[in-house]
Amino acid sequence: MLLVIADNPGVKQSEIGRLLGVVSANMAPLVARLADRDLIVRQAVDGRSQGLTLSEAGRRTAQKARGIVDDLEADLLSHIPKADCAAFVRVLHTLANQKDD
């Protein structure tokens, strides 16, 4: 969630839920935990919605997480022949974007 917020400052928690496939009933407690840890800041968007941005601690944590993700990606791709990397990544994107029926 922190990486989504980092890439989309002011994003609404309902949008994050749709993007990550988290049901709305679970989003409120997840967002509350991030706020309790001072990782995010909530900003009123309208009467019911709140936009989420990262606090300074949230930015540091997101940077660490992004570094870990980048390292894991590089490690995974190091096991794939260079000529096949682009096709492998396309297949992963296809799988990630499939909708459950």
Domain boundaries, the chain: 2-69
- List, in sequence order, every residue forming a beta bridge with 54; answer none if it has no partner: 40
b (16+ CB within 10 A) / e for 21-31: eeeeeebeeeb
**Statement: residue 100 has pLDDT above 70:** no
Instruction: Kindly state the DSSP code that residue 55 receives in the 8-state scheme.
Output: -
pLDDT in tens, 72-97: 999 999 999 999 999 999 999 899 88
Angle at 12 between CA 95 and CA 100, to 5 degrees: 25
CATH 1.10.10.10 assigned to domain 2-69? The reply is yes
**Statement: residue 101 has pLDDT above 70:** no
In 3-state terms, what secondary structure has residue 39? coil
Backbone angles phi, psi at 30, to 5 degrees: -65, -45
pLDDT in tens, 8-61: 999 999 999 999 989 989 999 999 999 999 999 999 888 778 899 999 999 999
